[in-house]
A = this chain, B = another copy of it.
Amino acid sequence: MPEQNETKLNIGLFGFGVVGESLYRVLQTNKSLNAQVRKVCIKHADKKRNAPAELFTTDPQDLLRDDNINVIVELIDDADAAYLIVSDALSNKKSVVSANKKMIAEHQDELLELQRTYHTPFLYESACCASIPVIRNLEEYYDNDLLQGISGIVNGSTNYILTRIAEDGLTFEAALKLAQQEGFAESNPALDVEGIDAVNKLTILLTHAYGTVALPKEIVHTGIQNLHAHDATYAKEKGYEIKLVAQAKKLEDGSVAAFVLPQFLKKDNQLYNVKNEYNGVIIESGLADKQFFYGKGAGGFPTASAVLSDLSALRYDYKYEYKKLRYQEPAALAQDFYLRVYVSFDGLFHVPHELFEVIEEWSSNNKRCSVIGIIRFSKLKDESWWKKKNTSLILMPDAFADFVPELKESSASEMFMV
């Protein structure tokens, strides 16, 4: 078989949870990877581990200052500590594999600069949809292609909750509790259900898809915490599924619209069929047309499988090229466009009507009122009424509205006079 100029990987591993331990086990038996875990840094020395004691240390320097270790695999929860580890390793020309989406999303600029300065590979496939190879595919398959849009269900916890609401008629609270019992949601679920985890992943995707390096706080988002039983009923009546969708779309002016919002999806959307804890990503491009990737987005084994594929790539010194950053003017985040949304709220006069450009439908049953209309994105960006408790905003299936502002006066105010 073809020979490779393979680098032998001597791994320093941070973290020995489910992912870390699976990785350790697979590498012990795997003949082809030419990789070995040399040292593991853990937080709690006294915890019983199913591996030789001499493998473990609590001192990060035992890994970072060991010249025999040429790869750091970072699998810890603490994003701040992870950033220190990763930046130290890259500065010392150790290759790094990380699964820490929060850390990566919050430090993209610095991490890009470190890669630029030290020419050292930093791979993080597992940080985005775990087992779905979306980053590598964006790097390898779409780098020469005009990317029209990317949309995905990138958070398994919220998708599990939404599936339970839709299929079993549970309330949000009951579904969240069940998700926690089943291990699909954290005991502190805010990162997931408020959409922050999805935002972190979207910022990583934006960099590889469009060269747009954005901070999580720049991304307009909400989660599923305010969804109301009324919304679930509406979805059922219309044959929609409600999903939390992270999406980015290239607009005509070359900027990129990006946000994480719940959306009603029709049957013909591939994301409609993504159920339970699964993730799915649709990529639309000029040459390849529409592609869809589906798989487990979290969990020990799916994450370990992505880490393994990164290690496999390190053997031949693979680096992300960030071509959209390197060869093109990175696309700016779009600030001004129109979205078609559904908003439901308690009572009749809660939503500031003047925020809608056009109201296309509204209904009320004396308890809950819902409005479908066109809204200017900048108003979502600058205001927070739509995120308040008891208000839920959901994108319509055809979310991007072809709206011509001149129409505003006549339609919006007129139609809402009730």
A384 to chain B, nearest CB (A): 37
Q: Does A59 reach chain B (CB closer than 8 Å)?
A: no
Q: Is the CB of A288 within 8 A of B302?
A: yes
Interface residues of A in 67-123 (CB under 8 A from B): 112, 115-116, 119-121
With a cutoff of 8 Å between Cβ atoms, the chain B residues found around residue A137 in the complex are: 133, 137
Total identical chains: 2
| Chain B residue with Cβ nearest A137 | B133
Q: Mark A158-173, 1 if CB is under 8 A from B, else 0.
A: 0000000000000000
- The complex places the Cα of A325 from the Cα of B135 at a distance, in Å, of 27
Give A51 to B40 CA distance when docked, in angstroms: 59
- Contact between A144 and B30 (Cβ–Cβ < 8 Å)? yes
* A349 CB–B CB distance under 8 Å: no
Evaluate whether A290 and B301 lie within 8 angstroms (CB atoms) in the complex, with A32-B327, A116-B1, A313-B140 already known: no
Q: Does A218 contact B (CB under 8 A)?
A: no
Q: Contact: A296 with B301, CB < 8 Å?
A: no
Contact with B along A117-146 (1 / 0, CB 8 A): 001110000000001110011001101110
From A194-202, A303-311, A363-371, the one touching the partner chain is: A303-311
- Among B26, B119, B144, B294, point to the contact of A33 (Cβ < 8 A): B144
Query: Which of B273, B287, B301, B313 has a CB less than 8 Å from the CB of A302?
Result: B287
Which residues of B are found within 8 Å of A325, using beta-carbon distances?
1
Q: Residue A382 at the B interface, CB < 8 A?
A: no
Interface members, chain A 318-354 (any B CB < 8 Å)? 318-323, 325-328
A residues 256-281 touching B (CB-CB < 8 Å): 270, 273
Residues on A lying within 8 angstroms of B by beta carbon are 1-4, 22, 26, 30-33, 112, 115-116, 119-121, 131-133, 136-137, 140-141, 143-145, 270, 273, 285-296, 299, 301-302, 304-306, 308-309, 312-313, 316, 318-323, 325-328
